[in-house]
Structure 1
Amino acid sequence: MSRQLISRNPELQRLIDEGFDIEIRSGYLLIHSVPYVTSSKQVACGVIVSELSMATSDMLDRPSTHQVHFIGEHPCKADGSDLVQIRCQSGEFKLAEGITAQHWFSNKPKCGYYESYYEKITSYVRVISNQAKAVDPKADARTFRAREPIEEESVFLYQDTASSRAGIQRLAARFNQQRIAIVGLGGTGSYILDLVAKTHVCEIHLFDGDVLRPHNAFRFPGAISREVLDREVTKVEYLSEHYANMRRGVVPHNVMIHEENVKLLIEFDYVFLSVDRGEVRQLILHALADTDVNIIDVGIGLNLTDDQESLWGTCRVTASTPSTREIALTRIPKVDRDEELYASNIQVADFNCLNASLAVTKWKRMSSFYLDDHVEHETTFNVNLNQLSKCTH
């Protein structure tokens, strides 16, 4: 539980001051020791679980929903009948690691929304616990228990409340222990970083030895200032500094991968391969052939039409896993395609972004974040046909 979050938000401090046993974990607000009546007319204690919406990195916004989850049996009235006025849905709601609720409640105020988390929590406590007080006048959610604030170990510098609001925190946590390498931080590689950096991956290592140049500014996410370009920093130095504004664990390696250092990639769970040199691709593929490393290779091919009025071409994502090494070797280019227009640093950030998005969604399917019904080895998008093709054999 973040000390800073509590100190900056009077409504949370007010809940604590009034004796409520609150906890902030995985982007959720938990209210422990909430008395309720069971179907056998006994008083038990449950936990109210609410999303947390942030206006800034450490200031709460108004609650994004009037609903909450509940851990425990379904609360009843004093006579043992269901408290139907808050009933929404029951089941198993795996909200995050260690947070599984059994019920989903809805108690909408007359105006349609709650102005604050204090109002939301006290409203639900009142509805649920008033029935318990009718059975046991001493029943009270205000325990004045001192719960020691614990800073959560997160790669992010501020709360990831988007996942908790969407109810996918448990899925997002699947990336926690992964160590990722991105080889080649050009147009596509930089977009891969942008997307991966917004997940809970513990480490992202960047491998590229090139200096940041003006043409990179037209291929990278966001806007690079003239002052940054004038510093003549390397691409990985700039990117690691930039994403340090949001998270920890982005590690720059100001080197190109070659025969002497390719073994560095053996220690990673996934390697995104975003280079335009065929010999480098083959070096990495062969060096990792007998390892458990998953490789996701990307590539773009663009050319002018004969009349030079339009562009045509494809972007490709090929996965090489311990069980698909041989087929991947047949699909991934072995030679450079210098004759193609893309090799001249053409400015097609949209195509770079698309290629990166296909690669990252493939990674997320391989990590079981997204459902994968086809488990394809390769995906290709043809821009002139507006067609997405997949290869499963």
Structure 2
Amino acid sequence: MNIWESIRLAFDAIRAHKLRSGLTTLGIMIGVLTVIGMLALIDGFNKMVAKQLSSLGTTTLYVQKQGLVMSHDDWLKTRGRKNLTIADAYSLRDNCPSVMRVAPILENMATVKHGREEVLGSSIVGTTPEYQFIANQEMEDGRAMSPMDLERSRPVAIIGFTLTDKLFGRQDPIGKELAIGGNRFEVIGTLSKKGSFLGNDQDNIAIIPISTFQKLFTGQIRNRGRGGSVTIAVQPLDADRIESAKDEITELLRRRRRVPPSKPDDFGIVTADQVMDIFKKITAGVFGLMIGVTLLSLLVGGIGIMNIMLVSVSERIKEIGIRKAIGARRRDIMQQFLIEAVALSTVGGVAGMVLGFVLAGLISLTIKLPSTVSWWSVLLGFGFSAAVGIFFGWYPARRAAEMDPIEALRYE
């Protein structure tokens, strides 16, 4: 018997027991669906993070008092560090040859009002004119912050799309007043829309001179226990100078902060690559967990296939005996039942792949992730399902192949 005849007989057997075959393949289908859906979700998530980090500047360094804090213990260990200051930022600008731009940043949350409209929890960023270049903040309308705004501590603000839309609607906000935390500001510019990142609205922002921020909000930050440490955004001369910029920053700050040679840094330098690596580790952990769930689902599906194939062998004992009596070899019998098991599992796998494509589309629509089904995830799903069919179909196929034709013909 050739292989095509075995495949035809396998699908004839599946069609003869549609309900039984469908229920048997459920475990395989769910397993493959999980693999493809999770890979699409993780791939989309990584692409979104990479895009957002790129929009912030792939070469930008952020110097912080605590650096990347990954646990409560880390936070407790680093919260007592000495604050970074605006003077530290300007020292980096003046003394680090690999640094092109520096912007000190202070942040606070406040309610922003205009007339009867208000927006809660807006991010108020106090900084210098260089910040918009470093953070790739594109102007939609109006003007950017000027050195004179900074020098004179002017109450001026550049606002994001959310504030523009919710507070002013179709009105032109340039030149109009709004209240930030109860303090009056003039709108001098609006920013282009950036969208949200990990649920955080990047357009709910107001940028003001850091000198104005210090006058109006520093006391609020201290009262809330946030310390008032400056974050320093640093733009190296180019991508090739990132490491040299980090070395220069580290050496200068250790000297300014009088860190002994035997002690570790009492500040952190955060890069886009570090943040991306953390997200990749998180998604790898999630993927590992889902692989465990998938393998469990495939195991259940495989056991179901083995049971059904054993039932199928029992139901067709006489057929096996007749085929052996008229010259079918053990290899032919084994091939037929093994192909039937693989066909069952791959039908479930193909159904899982189709549903995986649907799931990836739903993910893109509902949470706006750029999720796509990669070719290798399809191959992985198909390979998993075929492997399950071979592994769990081997024993029933071997049992059928080793059956004594005389005993099989006597079976009633």
Higher helix share: 2
Q: Which has the larger radius of gyration?
A: 2
TM-score computed with the length of structure 1 as normaliser: 0.21
The structure showing larger relative contact order (alpha-carbon pairs under 8 Å, at least 6 residues apart) is: 2
